[in-house]
Amino acid sequence: MMCRKMGALLTAAVFCGGVVAEEAAARGKRVSQIPNGSAFSCNTCHTAGGGSPLNPFGTEIFTNFLTATSAAGDVIWGPELAALDSDGDGATNGAELGDTGGTWVVGDANPTGDHDEGEGDSSLGGKVFNPGDPASIPPASHDTAVDVATWGQIKQLLDVLD
């Protein structure tokens, strides 16, 4: 009797461990679904690695930019997400990840960014910053495909229509 209970408990533990590992691996794919996602890996969206609480950028993606909120959901990267300043540091997500216009697509080479244009510091060329960390701030951002103020107005209008 004791052996059967131990066997059932062991089976349940192995099953649960497999489900958790599969879900973590499924979400790990999201690192490759944003430009330069590998620069900060899971910390691009989490405070201290996968499984930890979401940072502001991760919350923005989870709330508004996933094809589904399950582990199978993919990130919807584009001009809208690139134009937002999820961490409130004054730089758009796109500027921090090197894709100011939000034109990068999965499979493209990582963008090198435009931090060196007009900044006078060519050492920043190709450097990326964490869009979920307000302390990670690039130089002043450049124009984006969708003006941040305009996107904010669109979101307010959508909220009113809901």
> How far is the C-alpha of 109 from the C-alpha of 112, rounded, in Å?
9
Residues 66-102 pLDDT 10s: 999 887 899 999 999 999 999 999 899 999 999 999 9
- Report the Cα 157 to chain-centroid distance in Å: 24
| pLDDT confidence band for 1 (50 / 70 / 90) | low
Residues 114-162 pLDDT 10s: 554 443 344 445 678 899 888 888 765 444 455 555 666 666 667 777 6
Q: Give the per-residue pLDDT at 119.
A: 39
Burial class for 100, CB neighbours closer than 10 Å (0-12, 13-18, 19+):
buried
Tracing tokens 């997500």 back to the chain, one arrives at 93
